[in-house]
Amino acid sequence: MSDASRLNPRQAVAKGLLGLTLAVLCSAPAGQTAASRPMEIEDLFRCARVEDPQVSPDGRSVVYVVTRVDREGNRLDSDLWLVPLDGGEPRQLTRSPKHDRHPRWSPDGRWLVFESNRSGTFQLYTLATDGGEARPLTTLATEASQPVWSPDGAHIAFVSAVWPEFSDRPFPESDKLNRERMAEREQSPVKARVFTQLLYRHWDSWVEGKRQHLFVVPVRNGAAVGDPRDVTPGDRDAVPTSSTFSAGDDFAFSPDGQELAYTATPVPTREEAWSTNHDLYAVILATGERRQLTVNPAADGFPRYSPDGKYLAYRAQERAGFEADRWQLWLLHRATGERRSLTTGFDASVEAFVWAPDSRALYFEAEEQGTRPLWRVEVAGGAVKRVVVGGVNGGVQVTPDGRSLVLTRASLSRPAEVLVAELGTGSLRALTGVNDAIVRDWSVRAPESVWYSGAGGTPIQMWLKKPPGFEAGKRYPLVFMVHGGPQGAWLDGWSYRWNPQLWAAQGYVVALPNPRGSTGFGQRFVDEISGDWGGRCYEDLMAGVSWLEQQPYVKADRMAAAGASFGGYMVNWFLGQTDRFRCLVSHCGVYNFVNMYGATDELWFDEWDHGIPWVNPDFERWSPHRLAGRFQTPTLVIHGELDFRIPVTEGMNLFAALQRRGVPSKFLYFPDEGHWVNKPRNSEFWHQTVFAWLAEYLEP
Closest by Cα among 562, 458, 554 to 515 = 458
- Residue 515, judged by CB atoms within 10 A of its CB (0-12, 13-18, 19+), counts as buried
- Pairing outcome for strands 229-230 and 251-253: unpaired
- Distance, CA of 479 to CA of 443 (rounded, Å): 19
Judge whether 177 and 167 are in contact, CB under 8 Å: no
DSSP calls for 241-290: SSGGG--S--EEE-TTSSEEEEEE-SS--TTTTT---BEEEEEETTT--E
CB neighbourhood size of 580 (10 A): 16
- Distance, CA of 452 to CA of 551 (rounded, Å): 12
CB neighbourhood size of 97 (10 A): 11
State the catalytic residue, choosing from 449, 643, 683, 687: 643
Determine the length of the chain.
Answer: 700
Quote the longest CA-to-CA distance of the chain.
74
Judge whether 384 and 346 are in contact, CB under 8 Å: yes
**For 352, left (φ over 0), alpha (ψ -120 to 50), or beta?**
beta
- Distance, CA of 580 to CA of 582 (rounded, Å): 7
Closest by Cα among 335, 423, 331 to 381 = 331
Q: Specify the DSSP class assigned to residue 63.
A: E
Q: Element (H or E) spanning 418, and its range?
A: strand 414-422
Judge whether 375 and 328 are in contact, CB under 8 Å: no
Closest by Cα among 595, 597, 545 to 571 = 545
State the catalytic residue, choosing from 27, 565, 623, 683: 565
The residues near 513 (Cβ < 8 Å, ≥ 6 apart) are 460, 461, 462, 480, 481, 482, 490, 540, 541, 544
Q: Element (H or E) spanning 21, and its range?
A: helix 17-26
Could you tell me the CA-to-CA distances from 445 to 501, 502, 650 in Å, in that order?
9, 12, 37
Could you tell me the CA-to-CA distances from 146 to 401, 413, 547, 612 in Å, in that order?
26, 31, 47, 36
Q: Establish whether 565 is a catalytic residue.
A: yes
- Residue 40, judged by CB atoms within 10 A of its CB (0-12, 13-18, 19+), counts as middle
Q: Element (H or E) spanning 606, and its range?
A: helix 603-609
Q: Establish whether 58 is a catalytic residue.
A: no
Could you tell me the CA-to-CA distances from 418 to 128, 267, 371, 433 in Å, in that order?
23, 41, 17, 8
Q: Where are the beta strands (DSSP E) in 493-611?
A: 509-514, 554-564, 583-587
Q: Element (H or E) spanning 607, and its range?
A: helix 603-609
Closest by Cα among 606, 676, 603 to 638 = 676
Q: Establish whether 643 is a catalytic residue.
A: yes
- Distance, CA of 180 to CA of 186 (rounded, Å): 10
Per DSSP, what are the bridge partners of residue 284? 259
State the catalytic residue, choosing from 150, 675, 683, 687: 675
Per DSSP, what are the bridge partners of residue 418? 408
- Distance, CA of 608 to CA of 606 (rounded, Å): 6
The residues near 281 (Cβ < 8 Å, ≥ 6 apart) are 232, 238, 261, 262, 263, 264, 290, 291, 292, 293
Q: Is 188 helix (H, G, I), strand (E, B) or coil?
A: coil
The catalytic residue positions are 565, 643, 675
